Amino acid sequence: MTSATGTKILASLAAGLAAGTTNLIAAGAIFGGTLTHGLQQIASGLLGEAAFRGGAGAAALGAGLHYGISIVAAGLYCALAVRQAWWREHWLLGGTLFGIVAYLVMNLVVVPLSHAPNPDFSPAIVVKELVAHT
């Protein structure tokens, strides 16, 4: 692995962990409830209703899924920014646009194809979640 590749991987890991953490904090502020329940909600994408009876194990699975998705998204943004200067030069706008696309893909494609309950698309929730994803 070259030094440049290692730097991109570390940047993606750091950005994914930071974004994943801020998104969990925002979700707690938006939806309330416990962190365990929120993470079980994420795990319900794979486990369905059983996630809510799965205790800490299901929450750990949810955390792994959540951070895994966040790290992959950060890696995609990194790859995009390496290939196209606009995404580096306009990182604030680019990051905002990327966050909106991430929200749309997760809520219109990934969640409906999973076992998780369908997302709430009320205007207030959509606005709050868009802010959280950007």
How much is the pLDDT for 120?
85
Sign of CA dihedral 13, 19, 20, 21: positive
Sign of CA dihedral 19, 96, 36, 44: negative
Query: What pTM did the predictor assign?
Result: 0.89
Ordered mean pLDDT values, 10 residues apiece, the chain (134 residues): 84 94 88 89 94 96 96 95 94 93 92 89 88 80
How much is the pLDDT for 1?
64
How much is the pLDDT for 130?
85
* H or E stretch at 5: helix 3-31
N residues, the chain? 134
Whether the Cβ atoms of residue 43 and residue 56 lie closer than 8 Å to each other: no
How much is the pLDDT for 51?
96
